[in-house]
Amino acid sequence: MRFTILLIALFSFLDLSAQGSAFGIKGGPTLGFQQWNGRDSELLVRYHGVAYIETYREDAPFALFGQAGYHIRGGATRIRGGAYTNPDGNFFNFPTTSYPYEFRNVSLAFGAKQKFPFGQEMQAYYMVGVRGEYTINTNLDEYHPENDPFRVVNLIHPFDELTRHWQYGIIAGGGIEFMFADLVGGMIELSISPDLSQQYFQAETPYNDPFTGNPRTLSAREIRNVSIELSIGLRFLRIVEYVD
């Protein structure tokens, strides 16, 4: 409910602050990485969808924008396979496996664009803004001991209950806008969205090594998302004309 109220308020402000507005939808693939204590994870390929609005003044080089969307962020961990025997004499043979970690987030972002001509009936732009996000759910329950067939190495996985549901970060990128008709056009955009806050935090965790039986300590884990997104979308113009 709070998210919806903020969205309506932001879009209303942008719509009233200019001679008109441009609005539309965009979406496409998301390339997700995660930084685990400063170390990058493997690539995760997912998707996103966004509704957006921005101020519009003819020939103006700047615009303010707001957007709300759904993003699957995250990363992946690759576990090298091998054969192991634990202290009880049980033999384990693990294949090399890649584990995807998904954080399904809704986001609200706002910022500014600078535009400049780029060919006939086209404009290029770059943008920068800030964003806030809320994690609806994750896929981390798949890796709990009761679900993970390789439960003996379950401690490598993050746990759903330690996910931080509120995040914030920045968005930056650029793209091209073009027109199909007087009030209808399209756009192509490439952006990067690094988190400034932690998506996940886990304090140091003591455990017994399942292969040697020796006590060990799993180091603290701080996980932040970094997403690169390619968006293709539609763009509609709403022009306000004042008549004396």
The per-residue pLDDT for 86 is 58
Range 211-215 average pLDDT: 72
Q: Output helix, strand, coil percentages for the chain, rounded to the nearest 5.
A: 10, 65, 25
* Gap between the terminal Cα atoms of the chain: 40
The per-residue pLDDT for 79 is 73
In the structure, what pLDDT confidence band is assigned to residue 40 with cuts at 50, 70 and 90? confident
Q: What domains are there in the chain, each with its CATH number?
A: 2-239 (2.40.160.20)
Q: How many residues does the chain have?
A: 244
181-190 per-position pLDDT tens digit:
889 999 999 9
Higher pLDDT, 94 or 205: 205
The per-residue pLDDT for 41 is 84
The per-residue pLDDT for 155 is 65
8-32 per-position pLDDT tens digit:
555 555 554 546 889 999 999 999 9
Higher pLDDT, 118 or 239: 118
How many Cα atoms within 13 Å fall on the side-chain side of residue 35? 12
The per-residue pLDDT for 124 is 96
Closest by CA to 239, choosing from 105, 58, 96, is: 58
Range 34-62 average pLDDT: 89
Q: Is 14 helix (H, G, I), strand (E, B) or coil?
A: helix
Higher pLDDT, 120 or 68: 68
Asked if 107 and 131 count as a contact pair (C-beta separation under 8 A), the reply is yes
Both tokens assigned to 70: 């759904």
87-123 per-position pLDDT tens digit:
566 666 767 778 899 999 999 999 999 999 888 779 9
Q: Is pLDDT at 243 greater than 80 in this prediction?
A: no
Higher pLDDT, 36 or 85: 36
The per-residue pLDDT for 95 is 72
How many Cα atoms within 13 Å fall on the side-chain side of residue 83? 2
Asked if 10 and 108 count as a contact pair (C-beta separation under 8 A), the reply is yes
145-181 per-position pLDDT tens digit:
666 655 555 567 888 889 999 999 999 999 999 999 8
Asked if 13 and 216 count as a contact pair (C-beta separation under 8 A), the reply is no
Q: Is pLDDT at 3 greater than 60 in this prediction?
A: no
Range 202-210 average pLDDT: 77
